[in-house]
Structure formats: structure tokens, C-alpha cells
Amino acid sequence: MKKLLGFVLFFLLPCSWCVGGEDLLLPSKQIYDANGQPIRGFLSNRDTYYFPVTLGEISPWFIAAAVAGEDKRFYQHRGVDILSVLRAGWQNIQKKEVVSGASTLTQQLVRSVQPHHKTMWGKTTEALQALSWEQTHTKEEILEDYFNRLELGNMTQGIQAASQFYFGVDAGDVSLSQAAFLIGLAKSPTRYNPLKHFTRALKRRDYILERMLAENFIDEEMYQLAKEESITVRTPQRPFEAPHFTRFLRPFILPETTYIRTTLDGELQRYAQQLIKTYIAKLNDENVTNAALVVIENSTGAVLAYVGSADFNDVRHQGQVDGVRALRQPGSALKPFVYALAFEKGLLTPASLLEDEDTFFEGGFRPQNYDKSFHGQVSVRQALACSYNIPAVRAAEKMGASSLLDVLHAVGLSELTKPADFYGLGLALGNGEVQLLNLTNAYAVFARGGIYKPLTLSLDPLIQLPGKTKRVFSEQTSYLVSNILADNHARAAAFGLNSALAVPFELAAKTGTSKDYKDNFALAYTPRWTIGVWVGNFDASPMRRVSGVTGAGPIMHDLAIYLQKKYPSDPFKQPEGITQARVCTDSGLLAGKKCPHTREEIFISNRLPSVCDGNHFKEESHPQIISPSTADIYKWDPAVASGLQKMLWTAVCPNKPCIWILNGVKHPQQSCQVWWPLAIGKHQLELMCGSEKTSVRFEVLP
């Protein structure tokens, strides 16, 4: 008889019902922040929330409720309950309609795996498959599969998903009353949907409790207590936070993984999202519709915040585009890597002088500065801090585009896939396209003292992006770059002392604006964390002259203030091998006895420049303005009486009177030392010495 049954089943049953061949149901994935708070869930391959658990993780009340309410002879039959079939048939004949199906738990399981039409043949096939299933599975395995596949409404599949959705607890922690309530939904999840028909669902619970009492699974006292227990179905909670990040993360999650604790700080993520929305609303009149940001913990490479757009649901402005990974031109944001490479090779120091003047480079490349002016000889410190374009190209020219491209690849900007000749020296000004995510991690290399680390997206399980930890720059080189980018006075000539880059703690910061104002960036870091912000439009339309310091800069500024409170960071620690020395500002060399203008600067100890011999200062033949120097910045102090706020003009004019001309107006005093009352603004000071003329530019800030 068994052989005959097996023969019949062999021809009747689909291959998916061969032993071990049941259909594959992949679990849902629940994404949490670093503190264990849910941020998003992904559906199973059946578009349900499905979190499989073992039978041992399920409350015994579920087993009792299911057996009593759905299949009281579950442990006696072999897949089909003949007595129930006969009873149901008699009832259906009497009522002249189908009022009872007599399906066992095994048959219900079969139906959930492979639904059949409600026909005689469909029911027969279902019964045969149930018999087959019982031959190859234990009762415990059948119950485990049943509870995991049970559909209980509102896209919940399985007892674990339902317990969490309706009651906010795991399947092992429900009460008797709650277990009966959920099992009651199985008969018709739509009819008994507790979010719409709570009273019906409650009556169905009472019926299940009655069946449990009748089958002696509970006693009278337990029945009464369970029936009197107040059932509260919580408000549906299916969070949808960090959608761009979770979408990025999903391909890295193994199919069998259901719980993912990410690196995100949920509180920081929500603050960052709101911050972007606030600023984009302010910039709407400037044709700015979107922004993105990322925050990285330097020591681990953990992504603490990841906002891909101002509004994920904003269809008009393509909110589902991920600005953190979109390819954009970074503009001046690549300049720190130009100078870092020059420091590393010993070609430049922070005191080295570079000419900022109208220049044609190889291939007819003729860069212009953001302010459309030229600044003469400037130090590397000033050139990087003020983001002058021409000196950066001169620095890149010393090394070549190929070397620069190699170092950009080394810090993780692998999206620069074209050969060096394609970019040319324009690579120094960001003519290639990079991702904000990788650019931010590249800046974290400086924060880590020259170490590159791959990014970490998840803590449990551990998920890291491809790559290896490696040293790219020396600690000394990284410190020089960080020291310059944190020098608010050095950048004041271009940005002022109170720009968005200025904060009340040590912060290395840099902006970048692409050609035609299509993109702008603001990058900033402390030893503890690194920020990257992009502002622009996903349709590539230009903004109305919104630069990095006015677009992305304010977002970065407020985020940095918030982070310093939440994740306090110490100032940059000077490593061994750094020497501070006085330099001649007219030559960029160590100050000698004949140097009239000097200042303090830092160097890599084994790469100190030579001592200036003073040949740049020829007192006997050429006029020279000794004070002020070009690009000097002075600050008006409102606490000091205006009559006391003066600066000394000093010059050398061999055998001739010093004739001063300020902003085109001749000064009445013809002395080579003049005390001039400070006046707020940018000024050009000229010195006429006979037929010769020289000039400097300086600024007085309010």
C-alpha cells in the first residue's frame, strides 16, 4: 500500500515537493541603528515581513492555540484528518454550501507553500501533498514551518513578524491571550484585521480560548484571566529612515541574515536630515534644490550619518537619487591632496612661494581664480587656505598629473577611471567626477595621520566596503595639511574671519565649487570625525553663484557644532618630526639677518628650507614697502577707541621722498614712516620712489 501511494505521489506531486525541495522563502531584513533602534525593514521575496524563528523560540501558547482552534487531532493524523473531512462534508451537504474545509495544520502549510484552486482536484492534490509532507517531516518540523509561514495580515508572515507588529514583542514573550488573538487571525487575516475590525478579532480570540478550554489545554481560571486581559494593538510602526543608506547597504547583506545593526547614529541621522531640509528651503531662490552629507568616525571608518537628498519622496527634484554616491565634480576640494603630495615628495613647504599670476599651462590651460584677480607671490599656506587656483596648478605641474592621479586613487577615489592625460593639470582643480562618500573618507586620511581605512557600514554582522588599511601620507605631511586647513587667519583674505568655516574649536575645513556653479562641497574634520557635504541639483542645472562657502558651508558649520557637542574632539596633536621656525615672507626660506618681514611657520624637520641670504632686499637701489605686506589682514576692534587704532606704513626709498598713494588717492605725508588710522575694507597701497613704483594689498576686517 505504501509503495502504491509513493508511486501515485511521484506522478502527482510537482518537483518542488520532492523531499527537501520546498520553495525558498527568504527572510525579511530589519535594519537598526548602532543603538538598536529600527530604521527600516525590507520585505521578503514574497513581499511580506518575515522573520523565521525556531519552534523553541515560540511561546507554547501558540502551539496550544493552533492545535485547539485549527486541528485538535494534529498529533494523531498523518496529514489528513479523515474524521474532520467526514464531518465537514456532512455539514456542507446540510448547508448546501462550503461552511467547513476540515484542513489540518499540515494542509494549511501545504497551501501556504503552493496554493491550489478551491476545486475538488485542488483539495485532493493538497491532501496528497500533506500526506507526503508528513512522511518526510516530523510534527515539530511541520509546526515550525507552519508558524513561520502563517500569514496574519498587514504584510506579516510568520508568528514572529506578527508578534512584533501587533504587540511589539517577540513570539516567545506573548501572553496566553495574545497568542489566542494572533492564532484567531489565521482563519481570515482580512476579515479579522485588528486594525480595521478589532471587535471581530477579539471575538475570534474568545473562540480560540474556548477551544483551548474544551481541549484541556487551559483550565477555567486561566480561561477567565485570558478573556479578561485587555488586548492593545499598537499603532503600526514600520520606520523608513535613512532610505539611501539602507538601499546602499542591502546588497552587502547575506540572504539568511535578518538582523542588521548598522553604524548609523539614529539621532545624528535625523538631525542631519532636518538640517539639510532647513537650508535647502533657504536656498530655494538661488536655484538650489538638493543636498547630501555623510559623517565618518575616523578611528573605525564607521558611517555615522548618511543623507542622500533633501527629501527621498520629492519626485520633482529626483529625491531618490543618492547624492552621497552620485558622481560630481569636486572643484577645489582636491587641492589638499595636491599640496600633500608636494610635501611628501619634499618639493614644497608651507612657506614656499608660488606665483599667482595669469598663466597659460600645457595645452593652453588658463585657470582663473574664484575672485577673478591675481595675488602675486603667495605662500603655500595662503594659497591652500584661500583656495587660489593658479598656485595649485603650479604645484601639480611640479609633480605631474600622473603622480597626482595615483595618490587620489590611493586615498580611495577609484571613480577617477580615465588616464591622467584625460584630466591633465585640471585634475588639481577637480575636473574629474568623484563620490561624496569616497571624498569624505579621503579627507579622513588626513585626520588619521595619513592612514586610509575602508568604510564600515554595519556592526552586526560586520560589513565593510572593499579595501585595505594602508598608509598613504606620513603623519608629518598630514599634520601640515590639517594645520593649514584649520588656520582661520590664513584663509581670512579670501573668506573673512567669520565665514562658515570658522568654528570655536580646531576644525580643518575646505570647500570646492565646480565650474558654472553646478556643484559645491564642504569637507571638514577633527581627529575624531569627518564631514562631507554636497549642495546642488540632480538635473545638473547651475545654482545662482552659490559657492561652497555659502551653499554647503553653512550646513557643514552647523553639523560640526552639533558633532563637537555629541562627539567632542581634541585639537590636532603635533607629531614628532615637526619643527617650528621663523621664515622670511619675501623668499619662503628660513629667516636670515637681512630679512625685514618674517613670520612663524611649521616644517617637516628633515625638510627645512635653506636660510635666506637677503638678496631679495636691495636697500641701495630699489624701493620697497616693508610694512604692510601683501595680503596682510588687520582687525578693527570695537572695544578700542578709533583714534588709537592705527597701523605703521614703513618703506625704503633710496635718496628720495616716499610718496604714498592709497586706493588711488595721494597721501599728504611724504615720509617713509607714516601712521595711518585704520579704515575697514580692502586697500591697495602704492609707493612712488622717483620713477619707480611698487604696491601691496591689505585688508581691514570689521
Q: Which residues does the annotation mark as catalytic?
A: 70, 332
574, with CB counted inside 10 A (0-12, 13-18, 19+), is middle
Q: Which residue has the cell 616644517?
A: 603
SS3 assignment, position 643? helix
Cα–Cα distances (Å) from 320 to 41, 86, 571, in that order, read: 17, 57, 37
DSSP secondary-structure letter at 638? T
- Strand order across the beta sheet in which 681-689 lies: 632-635, 692-701, 681-689, 659-662, 665-666
What ranges make up the beta strands (E) of 149-289?
156-157, 259-262
**Cα 43 to Cα 387: distance, rounded to the nearest angstrom:** 48
321 and 312 in contact (C-beta within 8 Å)?
Answer: no
**Cα 249 to Cα 32: distance, rounded to the nearest angstrom:** 12
At 550, give phi and psi (nearest 5°): -105, -20
Using the CB atoms, write b or e for 415-453: b if 16+ within 10 Å.
bbeeebeebbbbbbbbbbbbbbbbbbbbbbbbbbbbbbb
DSSP 120-140: HHHHHHHHHHHHHHHHHS-HH
Region of 372 (left: φ > 0; alpha: ψ -120 to 50; beta: rest) is: left
- Are β-strands 434-435 and 376-379 bridged in parallel, bridged antiparallel, or unpaired? unpaired
Beta partners for residue 300, in sequence order = none
SS3 assignment, position 87? helix
DSSP 292-319: EEEEEETTTTEEEEEE-SS-TT-TTTTT
- Are β-strands 456-460 and 462-464 bridged in parallel, bridged antiparallel, or unpaired? antiparallel
Helix (H) or strand (E) holding 459: strand 456-460
* Contacts for 471 with CB less than 8 Å, ≥ 6 apart: 450, 451, 452
Helix (H), strand (E), coil (C) string for 259-280:
EEEECCCHHHHHHHHHHHHHHH
Cα–Cα distances (Å) from 131 to 86, 110, 150, 504, 648, in that order, read: 17, 10, 19, 75, 103
**Cα 627 to Cα 647: distance, rounded to the nearest angstrom:** 9
- Are β-strands 659-662 and 632-635 bridged in parallel, bridged antiparallel, or unpaired? unpaired
Residues in the chain, overall count: 702
DSSP secondary-structure letter at 600? E
342 and 404 in contact (C-beta within 8 Å)?
Answer: no
- Nearest-Å Rg of the Cα atoms of the chain is 37
Grid cell in block for residue 223 = 480561561
Using the CB atoms, write b or e for 97-125: b if 16+ within 10 Å.
eeeebbbbbbbbbbbbbbeeeeeeeebeb
6 and 13 in contact (C-beta within 8 Å)?
Answer: no
